[in-house]
């Protein structure tokens, strides 16, 4: 209007430059009145209707999710027990691994009679400065210590 345009021409030019005032009000109102939650609920309802119309896809999706969640739980349980939790021994940094040496097999498994002798000798020497205890582990489980 300072340049000599009429009020209607000035308003039309301002709308062209700044955008539609009504649209800006609606977008601003949508942010404050929970429009996001409303849109999310509409999306969930649409997804459920779509899944109800294609049962084979729904079964495949649910099976994939169940398998993924189950595998994730199993892997985390294994990693947690093996890597994250400390060993159930006092001073785990002092643990040692023993094996027998043969000409053909450099690291052979210890025979049970030899283990029994080692265990007896460890308990015999009260002032044993090397071992406070001894245990044997078999791939199927642990022998008595």
Per-residue pLDDT of the chain (145 residues; tens, 9 = 90+): 777 888 888 888 887 787 777 777 777 776 666 677 888 899 999 999 999 999 999 999 999 999 999 999 999 999 998 888 877 777 777 777 888 888 888 888 888 888 888 888 776 555 556 677 777 777 665 555 4
In a domain, 53, yes or no: no
Task: Output the pLDDT for position 9.
Answer: 87
In a domain, 124, yes or no: yes
Number of domains in the chain: 1
In a domain, 125, yes or no: yes
In a domain, 36, yes or no: no
Q: Are 101 and 108 in contact (CB under 8 A)?
A: yes
Q: Are 70 and 80 in contact (CB under 8 A)?
A: no
Eight-state DSSP code of residue 80:
I
Task: Output the pLDDT for position 77.
Answer: 93
Q: Which of 119, 100, 97 is nearest to 111 (CA)?
A: 100
* Two tokens, residue 51: 């899944």
Question: Rounded distance, CA 36 to CA 42, Å?
Answer: 10
In a domain, 100, yes or no: yes
In a domain, 67, yes or no: no
pTM score of the predicted model: 0.40
Task: Output the pLDDT for position 125.
Answer: 54
Question: Rounded distance, CA 49 to CA 91, Å?
Answer: 59
Question: Rounded distance, CA 81 to CA 94, Å?
Answer: 20
Question: Rounded distance, CA 74 to CA 41, Å?
Answer: 33
Range of the domain at 111: 92-142
Task: Output the pLDDT for position 52.
Answer: 93
Task: Output the pLDDT for position 30.
Answer: 61
Q: Are 115 and 109 in contact (CB under 8 A)?
A: no
Task: Output the pLDDT for position 124.
Answer: 59
Task: Output the pLDDT for position 61.
Answer: 93
Q: What's the sign of the alpha-carbon dihedral 42, 44, 50, 52?
A: negative
In a domain, 127, yes or no: yes
């Amino acid at each position: 209007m300072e340049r000599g345009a009429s009020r209607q021409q000035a308003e039309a030019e301002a709308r062209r430059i700044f955008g539609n005032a009504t649209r800006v009000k609606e977008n601003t109102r949508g942010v404050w009145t929970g429009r996001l939650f409303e849109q999310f609920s509409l999306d969930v309802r649409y997804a459920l209707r779509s899944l109800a119309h294609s049962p084979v896809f729904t079964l495949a999706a649910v099976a994939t999710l169940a398998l993924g969640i189950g595998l994730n739980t199993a892997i985390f349980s294994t990693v947690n027990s093996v890597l994250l939790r400390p060993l159930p021994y006092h001073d785990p940094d002092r643990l040692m691994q023993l094996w027998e040496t043969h000409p053909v097999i450099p690291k052979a498994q210890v025979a049970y009679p030899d283990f029994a002798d080692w265990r007896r000798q460890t308990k015999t020497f009260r002032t044993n400065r090397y071992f406070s205890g001894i245990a044997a582990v078999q791939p199927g489980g642990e022998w008595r210590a």
